């Protein structure tokens, strides 16, 4: 793999140890980067930390982290204090248990990373782990010290390798019941539900990330290009929201539009008969004649 490994260690399952390298699976480096600049001079700005009370800049060597014990009062944590609190890394993804893939709660997913064998000696072990997970449709729950913290990690078979996804801790995930508590119960009419099911069935497709359209990035690129070219920027109008009173009609119209669209695409072009072709040519010639006379 061309990219640089961000972590090297081993997968440890009981007495089975396999050397692996971890690589970033998703990156935001291709996104358009915007910087803060001075509107008057056009110069780029830099961040300066200032004292909250004196409003004076603070030198780098005097900048430390602190925990607020009460309003305006902090316990200062020196860099060596924080370094001492970082768990010692044994460079191992130690597997605790296995779970079935369809039992994974997606709200706990954090970031994905590719795992590859890092030494020739571990290739057979790596393939064995991959195929065992794939055949059992299972995932391994492991833990490892990654990026200065002990993190839970989910390991699954993925194409020719493995994918390791760091997981959020339980305290980091908001309760779904609390998040959705304000949503009121509504009784949906049978016709509405049938139309909605019809639309879903008609628009069914396969998961294809290449079809995803990052409209924000495209709009941002167009905006930058318009600014460079001095063109006028026309803001987009947001779509109108569907009111409850209009929902049934909107469903009917949506279902009708979806059904008509494939028919239009599949309708073959009408063949022109041999007799009709000369007549059309003659008509076209008559229409073009005045234009040619004007041009001459």
Structure confidence by residue, pLDDT tens digits, 208-223: 878 877 777 888 888 8
Question: How many residues belong to the chain?
Answer: 296
Place of tokens 């009419």: 189
Residue 236 forms part of a structural domain: no
CB contact at 8 A, 129 and 13: yes
For residues 136 and 130, give the distance between their C-alpha atoms in angstroms, rounded to a whole number: 10
Tokens 């959020």 identify what position? 168
The helix-helix angle for 247-266 and 190-202 (nearest 10°) equals 30
Q: Is residue 95 part of a domain?
A: yes
* Residue 100 is assigned to a structural domain of this protein: yes
For 232, the enclosing helix (H) or strand (E) is none
pLDDT tens-digit map of 175-201: 999 999 999 888 888 888 888 888 888
Within-domain flag for 198: no
C-alpha span between 49 and 58 (Å, rounded): 6
The percentage of residues in the chain with a pLDDT greater than 90, rounded to a whole number, is 50
| Cβ contact 20:118 at 8 Å | yes
Give the pLDDT score at 86: 84
Sign of CA dihedral 10, 11, 12, 17: negative
Residue 133: which CATH number? 2.40.290.10
105 located within any domain: yes
How far, in Å, CA of 92 to CA of 102, rounded? 26
Tokens of 38: 């001075």
CB 47 within 8 A of CB 34: no
- The answer, yes or no, to whether residue 64 has pLDDT greater than 60, is yes
- Structural domain includes residue 12: yes
Least-confidence region, from 115-119, 142-146, 259-263: 259-263
Looking at the domain assignment, is residue 270 inside a domain?
Answer: no
- Domain ranges, residue 127: 7-26+89-172
pLDDT surpasses 80 at 66: yes
Number of domains in the chain: 1
pLDDT digits (tens, 9 = 90+) for 79-109: 899 888 888 889 999 999 999 988 888 999 9
**pLDDT value, residue 1:** 60
pTM more than 0.85? no
Residue 233 in any domain: the answer is no
């Amino acid at each position: 793999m061309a990219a640089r490994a961000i972590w090297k260690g081993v997968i440890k399952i009981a007495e089975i140890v396999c050397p692996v390298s971890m690589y970033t699976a998703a990156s935001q480096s291709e996104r358009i980067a915007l910087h803060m600049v001075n509107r008057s001079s056009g110069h780029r700005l830099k961040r300066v930390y200032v004292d909250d009370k004196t409003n004076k800049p603070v030198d780098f060597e005097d900048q430390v982290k602190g925990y607020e014990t009460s309003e305006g009062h902090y316990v200062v944590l020196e860099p060596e204090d924080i370094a001492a609190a970082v768990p010692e890394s044994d460079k191992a993804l130690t597997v605790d248990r296995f779970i079935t893939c369809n039992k994974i709660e997606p709200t706990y997913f954090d970031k994905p990373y590719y795992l590859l064998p890092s030494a020739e000696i571990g290739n057979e072990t790596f393939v064995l782990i991959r195929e065992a997970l794939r055949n059992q449709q299972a995932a391994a729950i492991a833990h490892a010290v990654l990026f200065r913290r002990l993190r839970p990690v989910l390991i699954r078979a993925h194409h020719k390798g493995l994918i390791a996804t760091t997981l959020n801790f339980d305290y980091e995930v908001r309760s779904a019941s609390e998040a959705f508590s304000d949503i009121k119960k509504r009784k949906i009419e049978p016709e509405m539900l049938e139309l909605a099911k019809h639309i879903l069935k008609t628009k069914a497709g396969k998961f294809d990330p290449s079809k995803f359209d990052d409209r924000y990035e495209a709009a941002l690129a167009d905006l930058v290009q318009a600014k460079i070219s001095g063109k006028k920027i026309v803001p987009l109008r947001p779509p109108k929201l569907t009111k409850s009173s209009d929902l049934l009609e909107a469903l009917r119209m949506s279902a009708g539009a979806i059904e008509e669209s494939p028919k239009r695409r599949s309708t073959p072009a009408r063949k022109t008969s041999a007799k009709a072709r000369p007549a059309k040519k003659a008509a076209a010639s008559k229409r073009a004649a005045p234009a040619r006379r004007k041009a001459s």
